[in-house]
Amino acid sequence: MLDTSYRTAYNDDHEAFRDTVRKVFAEHMTPYLDQHEEEGIVPRSAWKALGEAGMLCPTVKEENGGLGLDFGFNCVLCEELSYLGSSAGFTLQNDITANYIERLGTEEQRAKYLPGMVSGDVISAIAMTEPGAGSDLQGIRTTAIKDGNHLVVNGSKTYITNGQNADVVIVVAKTDPAQGAKGTSLVLVDAGTEGFERGRNLDKIGQHSADTSELFFNDVRVPMTNILGGEGRGFIHLMEELPQERLGIAVGAQAAAQRAFDEAVKFTKDRKAFGKTVFEFQNTKFVLADLKAKIQVGWAHLDWAIRKHLAGELTTDEASAAKLWHTDLQWEACDMALQLHGGAGYMNEYAIARLWRDARVTRIFGGTNEIMKEVISRSI
């Protein structure tokens, strides 16, 4: 269990919410973690349970069916989910897609999607990445070309979180390909629309409980009113959301690093070798001491970043730096913790194996850590 007694980013309301999150997870998530991993998806019943407990999209305003809370509540859920060791796509809906729809959506769009996203009846996804365009969002090839009062969407997307479950997808597409990035728009596509097809649930190294999918758009006709935000302003809208998206990744990474450390401490104090516990060897103590120091610094930095974001002051380069540093720490903690488990760490029955597998992608998604360095360097 995460020790939050020393945290500075949260107040009593946040911690009361954390208690609710832990209780709901204990009933609806923890007993089914292995099942979610095996099936490659978190069932809609879990989404409904979280929705009924007020844990989905907590920042959505009351007039749109939500609770109107601050982003700190999202961070609390993200920490607990990551510490639990689940890769469920709740945080994508909480931290990213709900914000897009509430901030950019028309009154009709908000009314259509947000109440269901809060209740768990509507699951959302955002389709950016393509087979030929990863971190370079300006290079996307999916098009949404005007035809009368409609747009005709063609293209394919890959690595899409919530892809199998999604009821609505925010598709990044070129409405005016000749304009490059300035011709990019965000387009809402509902599940069941003719020509919209889901590909396979992708076979990943880790994060097996996340339904990460391929999506295909073959002459998908949607009304012009399905544009989210300004036409041709899609790339700008994406950039506007980067600080919150990357902070969310940092939050999850830090919690996962803590869980990996805790697993290593527990295992080494219990496991014996050469007549004493593995923990008693100097190398073990020094490795754990080094990790503890870095994790301590990590929590302090994370609280700084959360407070700055709540004040509306976290910049893109600061959020990118947080994403870079905390995901690097996550990998170091998970890799060293697995090493301290010895051969047991390579067995899937131990939590550290899942934590290690799931950690590998966090230095890739949300913009690779190499791109993070490029972004940070531009601010120097």
Do 216 and 258 share a structural domain? no
Mean pLDDT of the 282-286 span = 98
**End-of-domain residue from the set 230, 261, 282:** 230
Whole-number percent of the chain with pLDDT over 70: 99
For residue 43, give Cα distances in angstroms to 29, 162, 209, 323.
10, 11, 10, 29
Q: Which of 215, 147, 138, 149 is nearest to 177 (CA)?
A: 138
Please give the pLDDT value at position 135.
65
Question: What's the CATH number where 267 sits?
Answer: 1.20.140.10
Do 136 and 210 share a structural domain? yes
Q: How confident is the model at residue 288 (pLDDT cuts 50, 70, 90)?
A: very high
pLDDT tens-digit readout, 292-331: 999 999 999 999 999 999 999 999 999 999 999 999 999 9
pTM: 0.96
Q: Which amino acid is at 126?
A: I
Annotation marks residue 245 as catalytic = yes
Do 318 and 302 share a structural domain? yes
pLDDT tens-digit readout, 59-89: 999 999 999 999 999 999 999 999 999 999 9
**End-of-domain residue from the set 230, 256, 288:** 230
Please give the pLDDT value at position 181.
82
Q: Which DSSP string corresponds to 155-224?
A: EEEEEETTTTT-SEEEEEEESSGGGGGGGEEEEEEETT-TTEEEEEE---SS-TTS--EEEEEEEEEEEG
Do 366 and 238 share a structural domain? yes
For 77-112, letters b (16+ CB in 10 Å) and e give: bbbbbbbbbbbbbbbbbbbbbbbbbbebbeeebbeb
Do 369 and 264 share a structural domain? yes
Please give the Cα distance from 318 to 305 (Å, whole number). 8
Question: What's the CATH number where 59 sits?
Answer: 1.10.540.10
Q: How far apart are the first and last CA of the chain?
A: 38
**End-of-domain residue from the set 58, 88, 121:** 121
Question: What's the CATH number where 200 sits?
Answer: 2.40.110.10
Domain that holds residue 147: 124-230
Q: Which of 211, 185, 187 is nearest to 198 (CA)?
A: 211
Do 52 and 106 share a structural domain? yes
Please give the Cα distance from 25 to 137 (Å, whole number). 35
pLDDT tens-digit readout, 110-142: 999 999 999 999 999 999 999 887 667 778 999
Do 238 and 145 share a structural domain? no
How many independent structural domains does the chain possess? Answer: 3
Do 347 and 248 share a structural domain? yes
Q: Please identify which of the residues 245, 318, 332, 374 carries the catalytic annotation.
A: 245
Do 145 and 95 share a structural domain? no
Tell whether the torsion through CA atoms of 201, 151, 96 and 180 is positive or negative: positive
Do 116 and 141 share a structural domain? no
Q: What is the mean pLDDT of the chain?
A: 96
Do 226 and 145 share a structural domain? yes
